[in-house]
Amino acid sequence: MDLVPAPRGENPVKTPMVEVEAVDVAAPANTETGALQEALEALSDFGTDSDNSDGDDALSDDGDIIQFVRDDQLQDVPGACTREEAVAYRKRLHDIGKAAFVEETLVQETVTAKKLCTAFGIKLPDFLEGAPDEAYHPLLAIAISREFSRRPKLPQYNSIDDAVKLLKEAKNIIVLTGAGISTSLGIPDFRSKDTGLYSKLAHLGLSDPQEVFDIHVFREDPSIFFSIAKDILPTEKKFSPTHGFIKLLQDQGKLLTNYTQNIDNIEANAGVLAENMVQCHGSFATATCVKCDFKVAGDAIFNDIKEGKIPECSACRQRIDEDALKPQGLKRKRSSNGNQKDRKDDESSDEDDYDIPTPGVMKPDITFFGEDLPDEFGSRLVGHDRQLADLVIVIGTSLKVAPVAEVPGVLPRDVPQIYISRTPVSHTDFDIDLLGDCDVVVSELCRRAGWNLQHPMIPPDEQVKISPVEGYESRHVFTVVGA
Ligand SMILES: [Zn+2]
C-alpha cells in the first residue's frame, strides 16, 4: 500500500530530500535567443518541483497551471508534433544542449514555440489559443528545462532479452516497490480511490479521508485510526509472486536494497531480510507507545487491532499499577508521565482532584502525515547504495510519491532502470517498460532467466504472451494466454 500520501501543510515529505527535477547542467548562454533565452535564465532554478501530487501530472502543487499530454495522446491534439517528431526533438535537446536547441528551432524558425511545446508533453492551454507565438515562450522554457533535467533513457536497453540479460548479470539490484505488488493479495491500495477504503471512511466525518493517517488527528482521537486499521492490516502470512521474486533476488545475492512504500510488511512473510529492506513509510512490523516510547513487535497489538480496540501500552500500565500500590501522596506526581496535552486535560476535568492515569496508546510505526520519514532512507541511498547499484527495478508504483520517487534521479544516469506495472508513467524515462500484472511479468522474466520462481499463484503451465506497444521499442505488454 502506498501509504504516505500526497503531502499537505507542514508535512516534511513536502521538502524532498533530493529534488527530482533539479536542473543540474546549465547550457552556456552564448547565443542570442531573445525572449526564450531570458525565460530560460529566469527559470534556471525552476523545475525543482518533485511532482509528488497524486493524480494529475502537474508541475506545481498550486496548480493545474501546466498540464501534460502523453506521447500517445498527441495524435488527438491539433497542430501538435507527431510522436516521432516529439521523440526526435527531445533527443536533439539532450544531444546538443539547451542553447543550441533553441537556436536551431526557434531562432531559425524551423518550428513554432506552440508546436514545440507539445514535443515536451505540454498541453496547450486554452487561454493562449490565438495568441502570438511568443506567448508560448515561457511555457516552452519550462518544458525545455524540465526535459533537460530528466535522466535520458539509455538507448542500448529495449527488448525483453535485454531485461533478462540485465537481471542475470546484475549484482546489486535496487528494487522499488509500491501498492501494486500487494493488490493481488487483496490488500487495498489506499491511494486509489476505487478500492472502497475511502467510502468506508465516509462515516467517520472527516473532511478528508486521509486524515485517518494524520498524526494530529491520531493524537486527538486514536479511535478513528483503529476503526479502520483492521482493514489494512495484513493478517495472513501470505505473499505474492512478486514478493517471492524479491526474495529470489536476495537468495541469489543480487538484492542490494528493496525500498518499499508499502506498510504491510509482507516482504517479511516472503523472507526478505530486514537488513535488505527500507520501509520508506514505516510499517506494522513494530509499534510504539505515544506516551513513553515503549516499543513492541507489531503482532503484539494485532489482536486488539483486529477487534477494533485501541491497544494500550503495557509499560505504562505496569507503572500505573505499581503506583496504585504506593502511598496516595506520591500517586499524583508519578502518574503524569503523559504528554502535556493529556496532563492539561486531566487537570481541567478532574474536579475532585483525583487523577485517573491512563496508559499511552500503542501506535503502529507507520509514518503518518506530519511525521518524519525514517532516517534510513536518505543515508542508505546516498551514502551506500548509490555507489553500488547496477540495476533498478521499479515494481507496482506510479513513482509519484516522495521519497521513493526521488530514487531514480539520485542514482548515476548510466544505471539501467526497468519499470514493471500495469500502466506506464510519463514523468520518468525508464529504459524498459514491462507492462501488465506484475506477478505475471516477474514470473515470465524468471522463466526466461532460467530461474525457478515457485509460487501457488503461478500456475505451472502458465503461458505468457508478450506484445510490443506500437511506437515504443522498449515497451512491452505481458498477458497470460487464455486468461
Ligand atoms: Zn507507554
C-alpha to C-alpha distance for 130 and 255, rounded to whole angstroms: 54
pLDDT along the chain (483 residues), means of 10: 41 33 33 51 40 35 59 86 91 90 93 94 88 91 84 92 98 95 81 59 69 88 88 82 98 97 90 94 91 94 91 94 74 46 44 69 91 82 93 92 81 95 86 97 97 93 93 94 84
C-alpha to C-alpha distance for 380 and 423, rounded to whole angstroms: 29
Is residue 281 flagged as an active site residue? yes
Largest Cα separation within the chain, whole Å, is: 91
Task: Name the active-site residue from 243, 281, 455, 476.
Answer: 281
C-alpha to C-alpha distance for 420 and 197, rounded to whole angstroms: 25
Indicate the DSSP class of residue 63. Answer: B
The Å distance, Cα 308 to ligand 1 centre, comes to 20
The Å distance, Cα 405 to ligand 1 centre, comes to 35
Cβ within 8 Å of residue 270, ≥6 positions away: 239, 243, 244, 246, 247
Burial of 300 (0-12, 13-18, 19+ CB in 10 A): middle
> What does the pLDDT read at residue 194?
55
Cβ within 8 Å of residue 89, ≥6 positions away: 81, 105, 111, 116, 119, 120
Backbone φ and ψ for 369, nearest 5 degrees, come out as: -55, 135
Residue 292 labeled ligand binder:
yes
pTM for this structure? 0.71
C-alpha to C-alpha distance for 290 and 296, rounded to whole angstroms: 12
> What does the pLDDT read at residue 115?
95
Residue 438 labeled ligand binder:
no
Helix, strand, or coil (residue 243): helix
Contact 2, 176 (CB under 8 A): no
> What does the pLDDT read at residue 80?
92
Length of the chain in terms of residues written: 483
Contact 43, 35 (CB under 8 A): no
The Å distance, Cα 3 to ligand 1 centre, comes to 25
Cβ within 8 Å of residue 434, ≥6 positions away: 160, 163, 418, 419, 420, 441, 445, 476, 478
Q: Which residue has the cell 527500507?
A: 278
The Å distance, Cα 314 to ligand 1 centre, comes to 7
Dihedral in degrees, nearest 10, Cα atoms 454, 459, 460, 465:
-110
- The answer to whether the bond into 7 is cis (omega within 30° of 0) is no
Q: How many CB atoms lie within 10 A of CB 259?
A: 25
C-alpha to C-alpha distance for 327 and 218, rounded to whole angstroms: 34
CB environment 88-108: b (16+ within 10 A), e (fewer): ebbeebeeebbbbbbbebbbe
